[in-house]
Amino acid sequence: MTDTTLNGYKPMPRSRSKYFNQLLLLVMAAQTCAAAAFTEANIVRAIVGEGAACDYEVKRGLASAIYNRGTLDGVYGVHASHNKSEPKWVWQDARRAAKEGRTNDFVYGASYFGDWRDVENGTFIGHTFVCALGTGKNTIYFYR
């Protein structure tokens, strides 16, 4: 007779509910990480999430870069928790910026953007710097 234990340890069989819970967590994680649909409503959400505290000029730049990018994959602002508490005028600015950014390229072909923390962390090493819009800590840097 062969010993099916490992140094005296015999693993307990997993119950089906544990497998189900793990599968459910995996599905939920995949949905959370998936890019939001590339719709005008989600683009407006992304502009609010990324540039709520920024000037209108920056919001137009964000809109242009998002349209140049062609996807919301990797854009944090779509799911930003502070979006719910932003005032009405921020949403109005973002809607107007999204409309202008759809037909105008205010960032000269840039499709990536970030703030001073991304610059300090080297996030854009290997990308070409295009322009910076805004002032102080509300400056957004645009790259190709």
Instruction: Answer whether residue 9 is part of any domain.
Output: no
Q: What is the pLDDT of residue 40?
A: 96
Instruction: Answer whether residue 98 is part of any domain.
Output: yes
Instruction: Answer whether residue 10 is part of any domain.
Output: no
Instruction: Answer whether residue 45 is part of any domain.
Output: yes
pLDDT digits (tens, 9 = 90+) for 33-43: 457 899 999 99
The alpha-helical segments, DSSP class H, found in 1-144 are: 16-33, 40-51, 56-69, 88-103, 116-121
Instruction: Answer whether residue 14 is part of any domain.
Output: no
Query: Domain range for residue 44?
Result: 40-143
Contact 135, 53 (CB under 8 A): no
Residue 22: pLDDT band by 50, 70, 90 thresholds? low
Determine phi and psi for 63, rounding to 5 degrees: -60, -45
Instruction: Answer whether residue 13 is part of any domain.
Output: no
Whether the model clears a pTM of 0.85, i.e. scores above it, the answer is no
Helix (H, G, I), strand (E, B) or coil at 37: coil
Instruction: Answer whether residue 113 is part of any domain.
Output: yes
- What is the tally of structural domains in the chain? 1
